[in-house]
Amino acid sequence: MVRNLLDCNRVAHLGLFITGIRLLHGRRVFGDATAGLAHDLLTTFYRDHEMFYKYQQNYVLHLHIHYAEIYQNHGSLCNINTFSQEDIMGAVSKCKHGSRYWGDQLAFYLNIDFALKNSQQYEESAYSIFGSEGVFDETTLPVELIQVISSVHTSLCHCHDLNQCIKFYRRFRNKKQIVYHSLAYTKRQSSVSYFVKYNSLFGIIITFMSCDDKQYAIIKRHAVKKKFSDYFVSSPYHSLLSKPIDTFFFVLEKQSLQFDVVDVYSSLDMCIVIEEDDCFIVSPLSIYHEHD
């Protein structure tokens, strides 16, 4: 990781920028205080830029002090990025006819779009063009769970036939059509698609299962090792940085000692994971409709 290559203050200074942008990018993590906090981080980044980078203070750097205002006026950066704009421009140019009344046509097609979107919730899921929600892609009991599965079963169900009762699945699709992978899903190749945040805990989804008409994820929990901001204790930016950076980045133990059985419909946030020698650094995705 960069902290091994650069000195602590320089990394912390860069952290001001990254955390500031993360704050403005997704949900209002700190409510109405979000923009103000991001502004403090970005203006401090701007103020001290010259201490770390000589002769590189250009106009784009100056614009950082206006980001919070743009956020206040127009919303999160994820909603005003160029990809969505290009998307809609493409859609408009494809649907237009003739050379006049483009405004009316645009409104016409947008109305059709909204109508289709609204009607979708009345559709039977079996007829939906989307896949139906729930666990799918059946598999067998993962080796890791042989020891614990009977105690998991007794905690969930009173029947006596575990083999008939519990079924295992590789994947799960939630109400928003987001597909979660478990470790048992091998077609993911090298991508880490099975690491999630649930409540305030983190872990690897070993498998999905159904039991007694309910669906669960069995998650191998990785405990929080220390605060991410602890890497920057010696930096002058620590007090400013610690609160926001600790909501986006987490340092976890590599050893796991515990399995949790979690309702699949409770909130599972996918995480980006970086493996270090002595820990995992994870960051939950802040928004799903674009890459983070």
Stretch that binds Zn ion, among 8-16, 45-53, 156-164, 229-237 (CB under 5 A): 156-164
Stretch that binds Zn ion, among 34-42, 85-93, 164-172, 266-274 (CB under 5 A): 164-172
- Minimum distance, C-beta of residue 41 to Zn ion, in the bound complex (Å): 17
Choice between 60 and 126, CB closer to Zn ion: 60
Choice between 51 and 159, CB closer to Zn ion: 159
* Token code pair at residue 183: 């470790």
Q: For residue 179, which phi and psi values (nearest 5 degrees)?
A: -95, 125
Choice between 163 and 255, CB closer to Zn ion: 163
User: How far apart are alpha carbons 106 and 94 in whole angstroms?
Assistant: 11
In sequence order, what E strands does the chain have? 134-139, 167-173, 179-181, 195-198, 201-211, 214-221, 224-227, 250-252, 258-263, 268-275, 280-284
- Minimum distance, C-beta of residue 153 to Zn ion, in the bound complex (Å): 6
Residue with tokens 């830029």: 49
* Helix pair 102-119, 82-95: axis angle to 10 deg: 110
Q: For residue 272, which phi and psi values (nearest 5 degrees)?
A: -90, 130
- Minimum distance, C-beta of residue 162 to Zn ion, in the bound complex (Å): 6
Stretch that binds Zn ion, among 21-29, 41-49, 160-168, 269-277 (CB under 5 A): 160-168
- Minimum distance, C-beta of residue 77 to Zn ion, in the bound complex (Å): 18
- Minimum distance, C-beta of residue 151 to Zn ion, in the bound complex (Å): 13
Choice from 157, 224, 279, 287 touching Zn ion (CB under 5 A): 157
User: How far apart are alpha carbons 29 and 27 in whole angstroms?
Assistant: 6
Choice between 214 and 243, CB closer to Zn ion: 214
Residue 145 DSSP class: G
Choice between 165 and 192, CB closer to Zn ion: 165
User: How far apart are alpha carbons 69 and 36 in whole angstroms?
Assistant: 9
Task: Using CB under 5 A, count the residues that bind Zn ion.
Answer: 3
Choice between 46 and 180, CB closer to Zn ion: 46
Q: Which of 214, 139, 271, 196 is nearest to 205 (CA)?
A: 196
Is residue 165 a contact point for Zn ion (CB under 5 A)? yes
- Minimum distance, C-beta of residue 212 to Zn ion, in the bound complex (Å): 5
Choice between 54 and 158, CB closer to Zn ion: 158
DSSP SS3 for 114:
helix
Stretch that binds Zn ion, among 149-157, 213-221, 223-231, 264-272 (CB under 5 A): 149-157
Q: Is 280 exposed, middle or buried (0-12, 13-18, 19+ CB in 10 A)?
A: buried
Is residue 159 a contact point for Zn ion (CB under 5 A)? yes
Residues that bind Zn ion (CB under 5 A): 157, 159, 165
